[in-house]
Amino acid sequence: MIMKKYIILLVATTLGLAACKKELKEIGAPASKVEGIMADWDLLKATQVDELSLTKESANIYSFLAGSGKLPNISFSDSTYSVDTVGLKFNFFGGPSGKWRFDNPALPAKITFMPDGADAFTLKLNGPIRPQDNLRLSKEVILNCKAKDNLLMSYVLEFKRK
């Protein structure tokens, strides 16, 4: 009798779990990363990270950057960028304008900036860049000592669309 109850319970549980099967939904084509970045952006968060620290100690530097009354900003078109540098305490983008490109347009991990009249540099993307996302970037500060690059600190920046 007890065995019969266990069998009935096992069959009922199996049928119940089979009925809870999730439906697969079509998510559509991937969002264009270039369309995702083409916008005007204002700084939302800024953190300085000590990369030499074992615990990666960090400091919120947003209020320092906002102290001048103007926050870092950037505007992207399909291949160029511009920054309003007047009154900024620190410009993370090398100059007031230039060209940019992703390392991989389909799955970008980095953005290379080529400022007009200055050397090119690369920033890491810290998240997806879709039309609904904030722009998250890291700027690494590297010291070359005895022909070896050493990561000293990084700036972690998050921008919101205007």
Residue-wise pLDDT tens digits, 133-149: 899 999 998 888 787 88
**154 in a domain, yes or no?**
yes
Tokens 């200055």 locate to 118
pLDDT confidence bin for 18, thresholds 50/70/90: low
pLDDT at 128: 85
**13 in a domain, yes or no?**
no
Domain count, the chain: 1
pLDDT confidence bin for 83, thresholds 50/70/90: very high
CA-closest candidate to residue 113, choices 143, 91, 144, 145:
91
Statement: the pTM of the whole predicted model exceeds 0.85: no
Amino acid identity, residue 61?
Answer: I
CATH number at residue 51: 2.40.128.540
Calpha distance 85→71 (Å, rounded): 9
Is the model's pLDDT at 28 over the cut of 70? yes
Is the model's pLDDT at 105 over the cut of 90? no
